[in-house]
Copies of this chain bind each other. A is one copy, B any other.
Amino acid sequence: MKIVIVGGVAGGATAAARIRRLDEQAEIIVFERSGYVSYANCGLPYYIGGVIEDPEDLTLQTPESFFSRFRVVMKVRHEVIAIHPDEKKVTVRNLENGSEFEESYDKLLLSPGAKPTQPRLPGVGLEKLFTLRTVEDTFRIKDYIQRNQPKSAVLAGGGFIGLELAENLRESGMDVTIVQRPRQLMTPFDADMAAFIHGEMRKRGVRLILGHTVEGFEEKDGGMDVLLKDEAPLHADMVVLSIGVTPDTGLARDAGLKLGIKGSILVNDRMETSAQDIYAVGDAVQVKHAVSGQDALISLAGPANKQGRIAADNICGGDSRYVGSLGSSVIKIFDLTAAVTGLNERNAKAAGIETDQVVLSPMSHAGYYPGGRLMTMKVLFEKGTYRLLGGQIIGYEGVDKRIDVLAAAIHGGLKATELKELDLAYAPPYSSAKDPVNMAGFMIDNIAKGNLKQFHPRDVAKLPRDGSVTLLDVRTPEEYENGHIDGFANIPVDALRERLGEIPDKKPVYVMCQSGLRSYIACRILSGYGFACRNLSGGFRFYSAVMHDRRLTETAAPCGMEH
């Protein structure tokens, strides 16, 4: 059996090694357009920032090591330029000398990945306008920085690569600005949670110009101007385009393979394309979102590797199935960790799922053991059914742990109320006896049992201030003095029973505290005296972060660029 693989990174490399392990006799040829195989895509920004020092660390394997261990022929700088499904052949161009040749296959695996989205804007293609996807891109940026010592950079686009690069350039001492049309970085997160990401970026001196449209690029004064709609241009010594990636599927399209959303390759759960004996995996394929069941594009290394293994099994006569993706991901943003799994509010709405949510601020580990820090955790579930939909967590230590527990819980089909039952490992340096995931479960259980009714930051402005409802802040007088929401009166929770007379009878009470815990207790007390209560989800801590972010985003005008 002869297997040809297009693309030697992640999915392609995994499949090649797996096919060999399943079939010692197979002939396996991999064509990789770039000069490197099996490279550490996710490590590239850290090489630019010097966190990863040795460029050899970026390549997990070489064509030589792959051949000696797996007898896989890895041809780098070879681009497959056409597929001929009927003849079971591909046309290959040797990028070193321009020669072309045909290669036959019994099975073909496409792992072409995705390419940086290049907007059709004036100036795209200029020398000081970079993208970051391959090892070559990385060396180009690193080389430019070393030669020219740029003092400032504008990054157009704030997703994973944009943020990781921003951190690495900033840590190298550069002035860094992120500009983009969406008003929110990191769209896997809901806008409210993104406030914490924005906050960390600003705290570290990264300038955020959100909600502004880039219209082009121009060389100017030895650097680059980034042209904005209705605003003065941004100027910097270098610019990186990081507005996202697009499935690299021209080859599949030209061969007549069926395509899915955004030009992705359509595959079934065996990673088979519409063409006989052609498989596809990785960033280029359309997958099912495991929660919504909807078609999705998920450009992440974990799914690509899993799919490569599955395609290999099936190529070798097995029957392995891809169960879909949760889109679980995590990013380090300076000291912060931000992680997400499953659906966010936006995705759920798009999928027609009515959501409810809890927001909490638990400690990473027992408060009495040194070093614990707060995280902000949002858990989404379907209204009524309590199906667990997704989670978003931002904080420090232990964020990645809780998101993976949520991902496993979703995979296991747990209801959101069942999170309270998870028997997680506790010792003071690692967690609390009631783990943050359990706490979320307790809160959702309280909603299910009717013990907790909530209102949300978006509801606050709409609350009547005409005396028809009572607005109550149950924090301490000191906390209240340090900042509170207009219209909310202060009665500390521990004084509530004595001061019940101050709360007008028979009117609904909207209660808030710092994180939502004391106000929940206050709601339970008031319920005991016949009041209808609602609790501010996430508390003042969450509300004020969201509002503060909104103000800063609105006032961050691109002009001026003062630092």
Contacts and interface: CB of A to CB of B under 8 A. Distances in A.
Contact of A22 (B326, B430, B451, B493): B451
A400 interface: yes
Given A40-B368, A42-B426, A368-B60, A306 B421 contact: yes
A368 B53 CA distance: 9
Contacts of A408: 405, 408-409, 412, 414, 422, 424
A10 interface: yes
A25 interface: yes
Given A302-B423, A368-B60, A449 B497 contact: no
A425 B368 contact: no
A6 interface: no
- Chain A: interface residue count, which band? 35 or more
Contact of A412 (B323, B340, B411, B524): B411
Nearest to A495: B68
Given A21-B524, A421-B306, A428 B42 contact: yes
Nearest to A494: B68
Interface stretch (A228-236, A328-336, A552-560): A328-336
A404 B424 contact: yes
Interface string A43-66: 100100001100001101000000
A24 interface: yes
Contacts of A421: 306, 323, 411
Nearest to A414: B412
Contact residues of A: prevailing secondary structure: mixed
A329 B497 contact: no
Contacts of A420: 306, 309
A32 interface: no
A494 B339 contact: no
Interface string A449-488: 1010000000000000000000000000000000000000
A370 interface: yes
A24 B366 CA distance: 29
A412 B415 CA distance: 10
Interface string A429-450: 1110111001000100000010
Nearest to A518: B69
A182 interface: no
B60 A328 contact: no
Contacts of A304: 433
A330 to B, nearest CB: 4
Contacts of A430: 330, 332, 337, 400
A435 B411 CA distance: 15
Interface in A505-536: 520-521, 524-525, 527-529
B69 A494 contact: yes
Contact of A25 (B341, B411, B429, B528): B528
Nearest to A323: B421
A433 B40 CA distance: 10
A427 B42 CA distance: 7
A24 B368 contact: no
B426 A329 contact: yes
Interface in A131-190: 160
A377 to B, nearest CB: 14
Nearest to A304: B433
A110 B329 CA distance: 44
A433 B300 CA distance: 9
A504 interface: no
A426 B10 CA distance: 13
A378 interface: no
A305 interface: yes
14 contacts: A21-B521, A40-B366, A42-B426, A43-B368, A52-B370, A58-B368, A60-B367, A302-B423, A327-B423, A330-B430, A337-B430, A400-B430, A408-B408, A408-B422
Interface of A: 10, 20-25, 40, 42-43, 46, 51-52, 57-58, 60, 68-71, 160, 290, 300-306, 309, 318, 323, 325-332, 337, 339-341, 366-370, 400-401, 403-405, 407-409, 411-414, 418, 420-431, 433-435, 438, 442, 449, 451, 493-494, 497, 520-521, 524-525, 527-529
Counting from the closest, the 7 A-B pairs by CB-CB distance are A412-B412, A24-B528, A408-B408, A330-B425, A301-B433, A401-B401, A326-B423
